[in-house]
């Protein structure tokens, strides 16, 4: 385990916070030092919303969604009162739809408790969809309280600066211990956001900008010229491939969509009807007899598997009764809670 002297900790804190004051990102949900001087304070609702959106995507991708959510639902009470389908529709494109369901559940729980987010680690972790990292991030950014924030960016910085040879995920405990030692108790919110900014903008995975890094003098991996070798990672297992068929049924510029079950993968979202997804070659009877046109195969990568969808297209016959679902306008797909995988099916 890496041992840090008090002088080293003090120096690292100072160098990082000096850099952040000069060069940290300006984000719409972030309160920077000059904001506090002007009397502005963080809004826990907007910070929470940003952290949930950023769990599996980047700032440039998440920011337009965050702005739309805040424009449509400016308070946690407004979001709590929104119909599920409206929230899921706005979320479409951010992926990992279980997060959207937890977002709704969390908003409603907070609203029921008076509309105030807890300002303790235990209170935040008791809310739906908030784990240890997200709770620490909210605690630091929204309430400026001491917290140990360790995401992928922080892991990369720490493994490079201290040249940690243990591969991830085994190295997480050591990284978390070091990160907690360095975290500044006097400016916890700024420190947490500074270390994440350092990883996101300077200590990047492939081409780190070491020449302008405030921690360059202390970075063991940079001194050895092996910074891109870190973090070490265990070899990933190949993702299994599942296969299926999607039946793209059209009628006068519209396509038939149905709602997926409320639980399970993509729960409650809209879908193009199709077969089950399995490792075997797909076999399924079409919804009706027709000359089904074979369209290009769609490939979509989920967290735990890769999906290959055979796409078949036909016009609905006169009098066809499809059951529960809707006819959706092909030129207005953004109005529906449609996951990315089915958007791919509909843009072929």
Model confidence pLDDT, tens digit, residues 178-227: 999 999 999 999 999 999 999 999 999 999 999 999 999 999 999 999 99
Query: Average pLDDT, stretch 240-255?
Result: 94
Q: What is the mean pLDDT of the segment spanning 135-155? A: 92
Tell me, what's the pLDDT at 1?
63
State residue 323's pLDDT score. Answer: 81
Q: What is the pLDDT of residues 45-70, one digit of tens each?
A: 999 999 999 988 889 999 999 999 99
Q: Which residue has the tokens 């995988």?
A: 341
Give the largest CA-CA distance in the chain: 79
Domain positions in the chain are 6-229, 241-346
| Residue 120 or 321, more confident | 120
| Average pLDDT of the segment spanning 240-256 | 94
Q: What is the mean pLDDT of residues 253-272?
A: 89
| Lowest-confidence region among 244-248, 308-312, 335-339 | 335-339
45 burial (CB, 10 Å; 0-12 / 13-18 / 19+) is buried
Q: Using CA atoms, how far apart are residues 21 and 34, in angstroms rounded to an integer?
A: 9
Please report the beta strands in the chain, taking only residues with DSSP state E, as ranges in sequence order: 241-251, 254-259, 270-271, 293-301, 306-315, 326-329
Percentage of residues of the chain with pLDDT beyond 90: 71
User: 270, 258 in Cβ contact below 8 A?
Assistant: yes
Q: Are 263 and 330 in contact (CB under 8 A)?
A: no
Per-chain mean pLDDT for the chain: 91
* pLDDT score of 244: 94
Q: Using one digit for the tens of pLDDT, what is the confidence trace for 148-177? A: 889 899 999 999 999 999 999 999 999 999
What local confidence, expressed as pLDDT, does residue 10 receive? Answer: 94
Determine if the pTM surpasses 0.85: no
Strands 293-301 and 270-271: unpaired
| The predicted structure's pLDDT at residue 243 | 95
216 SS3 class: helix
Exposed, middle or buried by CB within 10 Å (0-12, 13-18, 19+), for 53? buried
Task: Please spell the DSSP secondary structure of 125-146, one letter per residue.
Answer: HTSTT--HHHHHHHHHHHH---
Q: What is the pLDDT of residue 104?
A: 95
- 264-319 per-position pLDDT tens digit: 888 888 999 999 999 887 778 899 999 999 999 999 998 889 999 999 999 999 88
Nearest to 333 by CA among 324, 323, 346: 346
**In this predicted structure, what is the pLDDT of residue 234?**
87
Active site amino acids:
51
Q: The domain 6-229 belongs to what CATH superfamily?
A: Hypothetical protein; domain 2 (1.10.340.30)
Instruction: Give the integer Cα–Cα distance in Å for 184 and 14.
Output: 9
Q: What is the pLDDT of residue 158?
A: 96
Instruction: At 141, list the tokens.
Output: 């950014």
pLDDT at 284: 83
Pairing label, strands 306-315, 241-251: parallel
Fold matches, 6-229 and 241-346: no
Instruction: Write down how long the chain is.
Output: 348
348 has a pLDDT exceeding 80: no
Buried b (16+ CB within 10 A) or exposed e, 313-338: bbebeeeeebeeeeebeeeebeebbb
pLDDT value for 232: 94
Burial class (CB in 10 A: 0-12, 13-18, 19+), 108: middle
Tokens of 108: 């409603």
R_g of the chain, CA atoms, integer Å? 24
Given CATH 3.90.79.10, say whether it is the number of domain 241-346. Answer: yes
- What average pLDDT does the segment 121-136 reach? 94
Dihedral (CA of 113, 118, 121, 125) sign: positive
């Amino acid at each position: 385990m890496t041992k840090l002297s008090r002088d080293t900790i003090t120096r690292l804190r100072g160098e990082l916070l000096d850099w952040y004051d000069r060069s940290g990102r300006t984000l719409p949900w972030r309160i920077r030092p000059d904001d506090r001087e002007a009397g502005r304070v963080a809004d826990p609702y907007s910070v929470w919303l940003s952290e949930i959106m950023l769990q599996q995507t980047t700032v440039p991708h998440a920011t337009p969604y965050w702005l739309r959510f805040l424009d449509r639902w400016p308070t946690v009470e407004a979001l709590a009162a929104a119909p599920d389908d409206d929230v899921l529709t706005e979320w479409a494109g951010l992926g990992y739809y279980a997060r959207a369901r937890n977002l709704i559940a969390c908003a409603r729980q907070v609203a029921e408790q008076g509309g105030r987010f807890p300002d303790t680690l235990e209170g935040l972790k008791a809310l739906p969809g908030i784990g240890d990292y997200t709770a620490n991030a909210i605690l630091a950014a929204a309430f400026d309280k001491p917290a140990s924030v360790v995401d992928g960016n922080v892991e990369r910085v720490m493994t490079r600066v201290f040249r940690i040879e243990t591969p991830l995920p085994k190295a997480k405990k050591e990284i978390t211990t070091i990160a907690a030692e360095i975290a500044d108790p006097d400016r916890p919110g700024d420190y947490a956001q500074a270390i994440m900014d350092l990883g996101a903008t300077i200590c990047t995975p492939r081409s780190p900008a070491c020449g302008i890094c405030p921690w360059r003098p202390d970075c063991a991996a940079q001194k050895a010229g092996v910074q891109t070798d870190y973090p070490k990672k265990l070899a990933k297992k190949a993702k299994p491939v599942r296969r299926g068929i999607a039946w793209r049924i059209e009628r006068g510029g519209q396509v038939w969509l149905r709602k997926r079950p409320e639980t399970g993968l993509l729960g409650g979202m809209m879908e193009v009807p199709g077969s089950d997804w399995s490792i075997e070659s797909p076999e399924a009877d079409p919804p009706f007899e027709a000359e089904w046109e074979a369209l290009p195969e769609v490939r979509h990568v989920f967290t735990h598997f890769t999906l290959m969808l055979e796409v078949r297209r036909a016009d609905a016959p006169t009098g066809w009764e499809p059951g529960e679902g809707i006819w959706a306008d092909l030129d207005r797909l953004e109005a529906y809670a449609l996951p990315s995988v089915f958007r791919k099916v509909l843009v072929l």
